């Protein structure tokens, strides 16, 4: 948390502290963008039906729980059920059973959550789905804070001091204002955030709006 001797944008003044941060790939950010920090170590999970399935059910609405493990969760057909069309056994990456999923009913657990939706052809023995959980390579990096984000970056933590553009597979170092004065009408907010609903939180961090 050091303050460099350099020229900052005119809408920033009385700068008390800045810090270096990393911006991940495929970002186009302008100076004054309000940033959040990605702190989830788990990336968004990916679900898929096995290519040899007899039924054409699909898997969706996939999220991770607090005890998600990196690796592949297997969701294997267990038996037909007249009420829910089919039941599936859910195994974690260590092949330990974590529950039974019913077709058409949301499956929830501390590991993964999903819904299997019935298709025209009923599920049968041998049908399986996978849910793959990967490490989030962008954990610890900074992007525009969007209020609905689920990767930890939803909370504004500072203001970008310079324009930054990164290409695919490219990341760049940038400077984040974490204490000082800024003109809120010059800031760029992500969806869900405004000068009005960030003012108090920023004040607690040591960032003050000079025009509000």
pTM here is 0.67
* Same domain for 87 and 20: no
What does the alpha-carbon distance between residue 64 and residue 47 come to, in Å, rounded to a whole number?
11
For residue 212, name the pLDDT band (cuts at 50, 70, 90): low
Give the pLDDT confidence score for residue 43 in this predicted structure. 83
For the chain, the domain total comes to: 2
CATH of the domain at 166: 2.40.300.10
The half-sphere exposure of 138 on its side-chain side, counting CA atoms within 13 A, is: 20
For residue 4, name the pLDDT band (cuts at 50, 70, 90): very low
Mean pLDDT of 128-156: 94
Which residue among 133, 156, 185 closes a domain?
A: 133
Task: Give pLDDT tens digits for 149-185.
Answer: 878 899 999 999 999 999 999 999 999 999 999 999 9
For residue 49, name the pLDDT band (cuts at 50, 70, 90): very high
Is residue 3 included in any domain, yes or no?
no
Which residue among 133, 157, 187 closes a domain?
A: 133
Is residue 54 included in any domain, yes or no?
yes
| Selection from 62, 56, 174 nearest residue 122 by Cα | 56
Is residue 7 included in any domain, yes or no?
no
Q: Which domain holds residue 171?
A: 12-40+138-209
Q: What are the angstrom distances between the C-alpha of 107 and each of 64, 115, 117, 130?
A: 11, 6, 11, 14
Mean pLDDT of 179-195: 96
* Same domain for 116 and 61: yes
């Amino acid at each position: 948390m050091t303050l460099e001797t350099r020229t900052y944008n005119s809408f920033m003044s009385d700068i008390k502290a800045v810090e270096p941060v990393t911006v991940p790939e495929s970002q186009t950010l302008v100076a004054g963008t309000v940033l959040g920090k990605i702190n989830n170590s788990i990336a968004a999970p990916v679900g898929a039906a096995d290519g040899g399935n007899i039924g054409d059910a699909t898997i969706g609405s996939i999220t991770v729980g607090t005890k998600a493990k990196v690796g592949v969760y297997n969701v294997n057909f267990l038996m037909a059920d007249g009420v829910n069309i089919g039941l599936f056994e859910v195994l974690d990456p260590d092949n330990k059973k974590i529950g039974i999923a019913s077709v058409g009913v949301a499956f929830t657990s501390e590991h993964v959550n999903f819904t299997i939706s019935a298709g025209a052809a009923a599920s049968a023995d041998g049908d399986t789905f996978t849910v793959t959980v990967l490490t989030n390579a962008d954990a610890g990096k900074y992007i525009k804070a969007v209020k609905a984000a689920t990767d930890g970056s939803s909370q504004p933590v500072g203001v970008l001091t310079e324009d930054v553009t990164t290409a695919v597979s490219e990341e760049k170092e940038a400077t984040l204002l974490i204490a000082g004065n800024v003109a809120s009408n010059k800031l760029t907010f992500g969806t869900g955030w405004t000068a009005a609903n960030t003012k108090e939180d920023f004040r607690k961090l040591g960032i003050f709006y000079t025009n509000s």
